[in-house]
Structure 1
Amino acid sequence: MTSPEASVTAGYVHGYSEREAARLGDQADTLAALLHAGTAYPAGSRVLEIGCGVGAQTIHLARANPGAHIVAVDHANDSLAQARARVAAHAPGADVEWHQADLFDLPFAEAEFDHVFVCFVLEHLSDPRQALTALRRVLRPGGTITVIEGDHGSAFFHPASAYAQAAIERQVQLQSAAGGNALIGRQVQPLLAQAGYEDIVVRPRTVYADQTRPALVDGFTRNTFIAMVASARADALAAGLTTAADWDRGITDLHRTAQADGTFHYTFFKAVAVNPASAATAGR
């Protein structure tokens, strides 16, 4: 993020490699039905997507809401360039407007948007409550915000493995050290309440994968979750959080959960809340 928000943001712990961009795409495509179900905006709505990244979620927002005008914002120009290309290729004709901007210095008028969509962003911020409060400024009174976050503490699997669990915990530690929070899913409701939103409804969106659900085994267990944890190897070793042998054993054991006799469970949390009529003074 840019310097004005340095005190309230964290580094993107997963990095910006081509592999990470592909992982984000796999995650969005695999979980589209699970995460986007119920996210419907009326024709003519102005929808702000914060932290659009490489456009992995933007595609699904645009496809599900062809009558809405989506304004996608990210702080990284490189990510925005990838997002434009991705949406042009996979959702041609989508009504999407792109902006490079800082979450805490958005170039929009007060109450400009009917809805705000925030997916996998709060986990990378050191002050997510402040971010949610700041977003109230550009959301009209009575408008809604949708927040989706995961929680690595919800991961459990078979065969059980202390090494695999430790590898996940090392990734959680690295994200925390960078100023983020990989366990934020369980905190979404209180964060929204503290930021002044009302009528908050949070529901778990659970992923369960076994050999009867091969698309989830491949798209989520292998290509989303294990790929994310495995990518932290160099950082975990450099930080002295583990040994190479223990880490590699943990990743091997995680891959066992994607075999024929394995199972994997993870929970995302999806919240919808309303910006109350006092929005005009929010974030000042």
Structure 2
Amino acid sequence: MDNSSPKYIHGYLEQEQERLREQALVIERPIYDYIDFSEVNELLEIGSGVGAQTEILLRRFPHLHITGVEYESRQVKKALENMSKLGYDERKVTFVQQDAKKLHLEKQYDAAFICWVLEHISDPVKVLVSMKPFLKPNAKVSITEVFNSTFYTYPVKNEVMDYWKIYNEYQVQIGGDPQVGVRLGDLLEEAGYHHIDLRSGGFHLDSRQPEEKSVVFNYWKNLMSSGAPSLLEEGLITEKQIKEMQQAMDDLREMPHAVFYYRFIQATAFA
């Protein structure tokens, strides 16, 4: 990675770029069932990455034109490839490589969308301030963010929870905030948005939802594993700890009465 780039816990390997798309599909319904862009034409997506969310937005709201802003050139390149494979061209989606804290865009948008992005940014209010001039008056803003301290399994597996603690502490160390979801209301207010509304979404899965629970345990194991290369490189974890975490997640997935619990936070506000 370019030393001038900020550290990113998930990295930019091709395997991780594909995981982002798979992850987006697994967690699509709990997020998008509460998002309505049916009256939006021009949408600004901050932190568009490889286009994982862009793909879902265009499928659910095919009338949209989306401008995706992404800091990392490797993600922009992959996003363009993904959109091309899906049959979308510049008539439907445009990607620009910019720092979201210092936006320079050519027009104003009807709405903005941010998903799993502010957790990686050291001063997220700067992003919200930076994008405001490029939103039309009363443009809708939809943000979905993590609240990682809510993650819990029954039974508790120390191999999982110890790894999760290291993972989240590293994210803080590199300037992120794995609890940023709970701050969305204050951040939006500080940035000058109004009619701010918050909701909690997520998973509470037990023996009544065996198939969904199995999928989500796999998804979460892959999410946690995506941080392993960075944690190894920093000397914060061993290969043994990674394998023990992965095995423990597999064990939980196979337990009929295991429970998976996690909450994220969604905010809707207006410019």
Q: Same fold (TM over 0.5)?
A: yes
SS for the counterpart of 1:11 is coil
Question: Match for residue 229 of structure 1?
Answer: 224
- 64-73 or 37-46, larger mean C-alpha shift: 37-46
CA separation in 1, counterparts of 2:158 and 2:77? 41
Q: 1:67 aligns with which of 63, 66, 80?
A: 63
Distance 2:247 2:131 in 1: 41
From the superposition, tell whether residues 92 and 253 of structure 1 become closer, same or farther in structure 2 (CA, over 3 Å).
Answer: same
In percent, how many aligned pairs have the same letter?
Answer: 26
Q: Tell me the secondary structure at the aligned position of residue 105 of structure 2.
A: coil
**1:218, CA displacement in angstroms?**
4.5
Partner of 2:185: 189
Question: Using the alignment, how far apart are the partners of 1:255 and 1:171 within structure 2?
Answer: 19
| Match in the other structure for 1:57 | 53
- Unmatched tracts of structure 1, length 5 or more: 276-284
- Give the Å deviation of 1:18: 1.6
Shift of 1:272: 0.5
- Provide Cα deviations, 1:245-275, integer angstroms capped at 9, x if missing partner: 4554333223322113222111111111011
Whole-angstrom distance in 2 between the partners of 1:2 and 1:193: 34
The superposition leaves residues 54-92 of structure 1 with CA deviations (integer Å, 9 ceiling, x where unpaired) of 110001111111122211121222212221222233364
Give the secondary structure class of the aligned counterpart of 1:137. Answer: helix
Cα contact 1:258–1:264 (8 A) shared by 2: no
Shift of 1:11: 2.1
Matches within 5 A, 1:27-42: 27-42=23-38
Tell me the residue number matched to 1:280: none
Q: Deviations over 1:225-262 (max 9, x none)?
A: 21121233344345454555455433322332211322
Task: Say whether residues 1:26 and 2:15 are aligned partners.
Answer: no
Question: Which residue, out of 158, 161, 168, partners 2:157?
Answer: 161
1:108 aligns with 2:95: no
| 1:17 maps onto 2:32 in alignment | no
Residue number in structure 2 paired with 1:256: 251
Q: What TM-score, normalized by structure 2, do the two folds share?
A: 0.88
State the aligned residue count: 269
